[in-house]
């Protein structure tokens, strides 16, 4: 049994790039694994619903080439979690295809495991009927119609499928959606490390040098022992400090000390975070508290067809009466749409004002702040693309030519940066599941395929 396990995270996300020098320096430290998180729900529901990748094939292949070369040369595993962005079957297969290309081009030979995370709707309905699916937070209880209309549903796997693939002799593991720390937690526990430091190391590694300063997309090293974790950036231009590590421990978590994961809670209440050099930090005192095993579900359903237009104004008269001006615009758009036999139930017009409350919306606390210029982003989401295109054209021309008291310019009110000014976005999606499912065991929902590449 190993006394220490040393792992490297290449960056915050596959395709975000990282310095090749950093990987080379990390590999020279005697690694047990190289890996990278491949996805996130941060970019929104479109990628899960549409099956499209978050990052380009060109960018993902560049990162995978470097990682695979390092793994093959040093005879260590390479693991990518949440492949392709959202971790559904199209995203996973896109990464499998890239890896096949690299293997052919470089004449590499290895055993690969592909772990699937897109869930069968029939199985989900069975779990729902058995009372094994529960809402998270303020989500409403799940129903079969929601399952039916959801385009794609994935489960966020824990470390167990990765561990099984490692036990099966896989050197390369490509996995669908998983919790971000799971690949690294799996490798550490595979080598006999306890769950608490293994999970904590995964929490540090999931964002690359998110635990270092200056922040950026770069390689982070973590050494896991039975009672501590040490983290250090591979790049000598960066360093970990107790503060940077403590901040990363807060990342994407409702509690500063309790991190909920499949099968338990990582409790960092009694952690000690201490500098061991000017670039490395040791963390000790973490605890793992087992809980009933659940898998978080993510799903995206079709919301409609979208079209947008973007313009700006710096007319002080218009900016001084924006609310009344936009109310007039909305009323005029509805009247013009009705003339096309388009009812209000067939579309939604959303207007975002950058320079007023475009970021915070109704939560914006600075209600009286006004810029000398305002960016106006108008979007129409409709039941058909033709309707979205027609209504956004009406909104654009109405914004451009609607009169208002004191108007001096008798031509256009707006400056449009693009031609064509109307942009067809196509199908758009919304998240439809925020729930957890209780499986019979941690491997049940995640079949593994092995392949000799």
CB 283 within 8 A of CB 244: no
What pLDDT does 277 receive? 97
Confidence class for position 2, pLDDT limits 50, 70, 90: confident
Q: Are residues 339 and 241 in the same domain?
A: no
- pLDDT tens-place string over residues 97-156: 999 999 999 999 999 999 999 999 999 999 999 999 999 989 999 999 999 999 999 999
Q: Are residues 268 and 343 in the same domain?
A: no
In a domain, 148, yes or no: no
The residue range of the domain holding 234 is 5-117+156-294+438-452
Cβ-based neighbours of 256, under 8 Å, separated by 6 or more: 249, 250, 268
Go through 390-428 and write b for each residue having 16 or more CB atoms within 10 A of its CB, e for each that does not.
bbbbbbbbbbbebebeeeeeeeebbebeeeebbeebeeb
What is the distance between the alpha carbons of residues 309 and 323, in angstroms, rounded to a whole number?
A: 19
What is the distance between the alpha carbons of residues 436 and 7, in angstroms, rounded to a whole number?
A: 30
Domains contained in the chain, number: 2
In a domain, 146, yes or no: no
Confidence class for position 208, pLDDT limits 50, 70, 90: very high
What pLDDT does 378 receive? 98
In a domain, 140, yes or no: no
* Token representation of residue 24: 């080379």
Cβ-based burial of 83 (10 A; exposed 0-12, middle 13-18, buried ≥19): buried
Q: Are residues 415 and 442 in the same domain?
A: no
- pLDDT tens-place string over residues 221-242: 999 999 999 999 999 999 999 9
Question: Reading across the β-sheet that carries 264-267, which strands appear in turn?
Answer: 258-261, 264-267, 287-290
Q: Are residues 309 and 273 in the same domain?
A: no
Long-range contacts from 122-129, C-beta under 8 angstroms, 24+ separation:
123/445, 124/153, 124/297, 124/437, 127/437, 127/438, 127/439
346: three-class secondary structure by DSSP: helix
- pLDDT tens-place string over residues 285-344: 999 999 999 999 999 999 999 999 999 999 999 999 999 999 999 999 999 999 999 999
Exposure of 386 in the CB half-sphere (CA atoms within 13 A)? 3
Q: Are residues 313 and 448 in the same domain?
A: no
Alpha helical stretches, state H, 28-120: 46-50, 57-74, 89-106
Q: Are residues 267 and 312 in the same domain?
A: no
* Token representation of residue 341: 């036999």
Find residue 81's DSSP bridge partners.
37
Q: Are residues 252 and 316 in the same domain?
A: no
Q: Are strands 448-452 and 111-115 parallel, antiparallel or unpaired?
A: antiparallel
In a domain, 144, yes or no: no
What is the distance between the alpha carbons of residues 106 and 396, in angstroms, rounded to a whole number?
A: 52
In a domain, 18, yes or no: yes
Cβ-based neighbours of 128, under 8 Å, separated by 6 or more: 142, 143, 144, 147
Q: Are residues 218 and 330 in the same domain?
A: no
* Token representation of residue 314: 């710096």
Bigger pLDDT: 75 or 256? 75
Helix (H) or strand (E) holding 389: helix 385-401
- pLDDT tens-place string over residues 180-202: 999 999 999 999 999 999 999 99
Exposure of 302 in the CB half-sphere (CA atoms within 13 A)? 12
Q: Are residues 270 and 321 in the same domain?
A: no
* Token representation of residue 82: 């949440």
What is the distance between the alpha carbons of residues 199 and 215, in angstroms, rounded to a whole number?
A: 22
Q: Are residues 170 and 311 in the same domain?
A: no
Q: Are residues 168 and 277 in the same domain?
A: yes
What pLDDT does 249 receive? 87
Q: Are strands 258-261 and 374-382 parallel, antiparallel or unpaired?
A: unpaired
Q: What is the pTM of this model?
A: 0.94
What is the distance between the alpha carbons of residues 208 and 12, in angstroms, rounded to a whole number?
A: 5
CATH number at residue 422: 3.30.70
* Dihedral, 82, 84, 86, 88 alpha carbons, nearest 10: -90
In a domain, 284, yes or no: yes
């Amino acid at each position: 049994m190993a006394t220490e396990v040393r792992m490297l995270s290449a960056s915050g996300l596959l395709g975000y790039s990282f310095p090749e020098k950093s990987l080379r320096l990390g590999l020279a430290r005697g690694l047990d694994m190289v890996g990278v998180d491949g996805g996130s729900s941060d970019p929104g529901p479109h990628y899960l619903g549409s099956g499209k990748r978050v990052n380009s094939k060109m960018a993902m292949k560049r990162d995978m080439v470097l990682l695979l070369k390092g793994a093959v040369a040093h005879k260590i595993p390479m693991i990518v979690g949440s492949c392709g962005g959202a971790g559904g079957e199209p995203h996973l297969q896109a990464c499998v295809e890239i890896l096949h290309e690299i293997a052919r081009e470089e004449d590499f030979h290895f055993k690969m495991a592909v772990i699937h995370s897109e869930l069968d709707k029939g199985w989900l309905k069975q779990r729902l009927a058995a009372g094994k699916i529960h809402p998270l937070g303020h989500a409403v209880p799940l129903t079969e119609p929601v399952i039916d209309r959801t385009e794609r549903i994935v489960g966020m796997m824990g470390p167990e499928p990765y561990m099984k693939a490692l036990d099966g002799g896989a050197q390369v593991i490509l996995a669908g959606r998983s919790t971000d720390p799971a690949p690294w937690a799996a490798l550490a526990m595979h080598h006999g490390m306890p769950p608490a430091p293994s999970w904590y190391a995964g929490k540090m590694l999931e964002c690359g040098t998110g635990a270092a300063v200056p922040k950026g997309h770069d390689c982070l090293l973590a050494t896991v022992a039975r009672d501590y974790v040490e983290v250090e950036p591979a790049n000598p231009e960066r360093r970990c400090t107790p503060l940077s590590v403590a901040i990363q421990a807060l990342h994407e978590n409702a509690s500063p000390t309790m991190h909920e994961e499949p099968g338990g809670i990582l409790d960092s209440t009694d952690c000690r975070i201490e500098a061991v050099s000017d670039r490395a930090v040791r963390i000790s005192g973490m605890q793992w508290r087992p809980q009933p095993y659940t898998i978080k579900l993510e799903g995206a359903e079709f919301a409609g067809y979208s079209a947008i237009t973007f313009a700006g104004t710096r007319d002080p008269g218009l900016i001084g009466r924006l609310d009344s001006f936009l109310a007039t615009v909305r009323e005029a758009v509805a009247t013009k749409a009705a003339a096309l036999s388009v009812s209000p139930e067939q579309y939604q017009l959303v207007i975002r004002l950058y320079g007023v409350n475009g970021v915070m919306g109704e939560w914006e606390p600075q209600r009286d702040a006004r810029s000398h210029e305002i960016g106006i982003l108008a979007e129409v989401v409709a039941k058909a693309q033709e309707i979205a295109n027609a209504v956004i054209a009406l909104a654009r021309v109405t914004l451009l030519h609607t009169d208002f008291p004191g108007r001096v310019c008798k031509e256009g009110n707006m400056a449009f940066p693009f031609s064509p000014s109307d942009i067809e976005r196509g199908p758009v999606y919304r998240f439809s599941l925020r729930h957890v499912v209780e499986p019979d065991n941690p491997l049940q929902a995640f079949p593994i395929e092995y392949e000799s590449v």
